[in-house]
Every structure is written in C-alpha cells, then in structure tokens.
C-alpha cells in the first residue's frame, strides 16, 4: 500500500507502550512482521533519560516510526507536540490525536480537522485518529490528509468493531483512500473482520502488549490480518435469507 508516496508492505502496525519489557516488545514486533510502530513523544521525553534508551531500542528494530500526539487535548498542544516529534524522530509522518472526551478518549473532531489543516500546511504527512463519521472524513481529506484512521472502539477497550455499518460506509465512500482501523481491537478475529471489510490495515497496542504472551499474540494477529485480507480479495459470499443446499439435487437417488 502507498502512504504519502511510500510503499508499505505490512498491514499490521503496533504501538510500543505497556509491554512487560523491552525484550518482549522487540520479539512482539518481529513476530508481528510489522514495519511501522507508533511512538509517543511523552515516552521519548521521559525523565532520567529513559526515553533515549527506549528510542535506541526502537532504532534497533529496523522499523519505520510513526510518532503520535497521544494525550493531547487541544489544537495548540497537538501541533506543538507534532513539531517536537518531527525534530526528535526526523520524520514528517505524524499520527494526529486530539482527544475530546476523557472517559472514551473519543477524538475532538473539530480540533482534529483544525490541527490537521495546520500540520498539512506545515509539511507534515498526517495520519488522523478519527471516528467513522463520513463528514469528518471528508473534512480531513480537504485539510490535506491522504490517510484516515477511524476507531473500531474506544482506545484500550478491546471491544472490536462497534459500528461495522459506519466502517463499511466509510470504505464504500472513499475506495481509493488508505484506511487503517485504529483503537479498540482486542482479538485477532476483530482484526480479521476489519480486513474483510476492505480496510488496508489495523493498528493496535493493548491487545498485544497486555496479552498473557505478547509474542504469541502478535503472531496470531499477523496471521489474522493476512487471512482477512485474503478473504476480502477472494470476494466472500453475501449472506442469504434462506438456506441453499450445498449438495445438488441432480443425480440424487429417489426411493419409492
């Protein structure tokens, strides 16, 4: 898939927070086969040089970094964080988050569109964490975004795809736009379902980092994403209202 002129092979992206240890994080990234990981500037800037040690670990994995503005609740905060991240990570890519509601961590879509416009004008290549609202999606594209990252469910809940109708409609309305389901994925089956809808990839963190065995779970997600993509390309049958026999009647033995 092509993202801002860059060809990306992996359709499974991982967050890098909350893993039991740096070694397990590295093993999970390798098991997932991902080539993109998200990184929070807040962690990079942590006290006692912990952020620098973490950044060294990420560099050693040989993957592309997608910095994010996690935890930002205003346009100014998000824009400033993005600009700092560009300096630190030396990339124009930014996953843009502007949180509007504390309990659900739902995006502030008004602030999101405004911040996206500011950052796109400043040369950033913006990956906006958004809802599945069609109008918001259109506004983000008009602001200059070339990728959309709608949520499946609130961050860290593991509830899966709360609104398959909305996600399906988003895919249908923007067939040429790369769409990545971001947040709420809890099980490999959720990731497969997203891919079967025609999404280009999924981004998740908690479902792997907080699993009993993050490395095994990362591998399970990798296979689920691959299976879901293959199923979408194979054009699954549509549901039917009545049963249809799989065995033809022609040639059936008739008993009198």
The answer to whether 186 is a known ligand-binding residue is no
Q: Which of 11, 86, 95, 190 is catalytic?
A: 95
The answer to whether 156 is a known ligand-binding residue is yes
The answer to whether 205 is a known ligand-binding residue is yes
What gap in Å lies between CA 245 and CA 15, rounded to an integer? 45
Q: DSSP secondary structure string, the chain?
A: -EETTEE---SEEEE-SS-S-HHHHHHHHHHHT-SEEEEEHHHHT-GGGHHHHHHHHHHHTT-EEEEE-TT--SHHHHHHHHHHHHHHH--SEEEE--B--TTT--B-HHHHHHHHHHHHHTT-EEEEEE-S-HHHHHHHHHHT-S-BEE-SSSTT-----S-HHHHHHHHHH-TTS-BEEES---SHHHHHHHHHTT-SEEEESHHHHTSSSHHHHHHHHHHHHHHHHHHHHT-PPPP-SS---SS-STT-----
**What residues does 39 pair with on adjacent strands?**
67
Beta strands at 2-3 and 6-7: parallel, antiparallel or unpaired: antiparallel
Q: Catalytic annotation on 76? A: no
Which residues carry a binding-site annotation for 1-deoxy-D-xylulose 5-phosphate? 156, 183-184, 205-206
Residues with catalytic function: 95
Q: What residue numbers does the annotated binding site cover? A: 156, 183-184, 205-206
């Amino acid at each position: 898939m092509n993202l801002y002129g860059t060809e990306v092979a992996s359709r499974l992206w991982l967050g890098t927070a909350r893993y039991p240890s740096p070694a397990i994080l590295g093993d999970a990234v390798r098991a997932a086969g991902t080539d993109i990981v998200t990184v929070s500037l807040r962690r990079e800037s942590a006290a006692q040089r912990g952020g620098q040690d973490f950044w060294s670990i990420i560099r050693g994995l040989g993957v592309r970094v997608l910095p994010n503005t996690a935890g930002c609740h205003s346009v100014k905060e998000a824009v400033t964080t993005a600009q700092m991240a560009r300096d630190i990570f030396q990339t124009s890519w930014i996953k843009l988050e502007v949180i509007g509601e504390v309990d659900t961590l739902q995006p502030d879509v008004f602030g999101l569109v405004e911040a996206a416009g500011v950052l796109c004008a400043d040369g950033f290549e913006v990956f906006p964490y958004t809802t599945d609202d069609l109008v918001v999606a259109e506004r983000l594209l008009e602001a200059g975004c070339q990728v959309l990252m709608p949520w499946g469910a609130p961050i860290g809940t593991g509830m899966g795809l709360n609104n398959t109708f909305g996600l399906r409609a988003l895919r249908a309305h923007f067939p040429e736009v790369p769409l990545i389901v971001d947040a709420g994925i809890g099980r490999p089956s959720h990731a497969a379902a997203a891919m079967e809808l025609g999404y280009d990839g999924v981004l998740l963190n908690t479902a792997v980092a907080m699993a009993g065995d993050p490395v095994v779970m990362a591998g399970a997600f990798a296979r689920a994403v691959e299976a879901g993509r293959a199923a979408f390309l194979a054009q699954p049958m549509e549901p039917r209202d009545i049963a249809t026999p799989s065995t033809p009647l022609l040639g059936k033995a008739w008993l009198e």
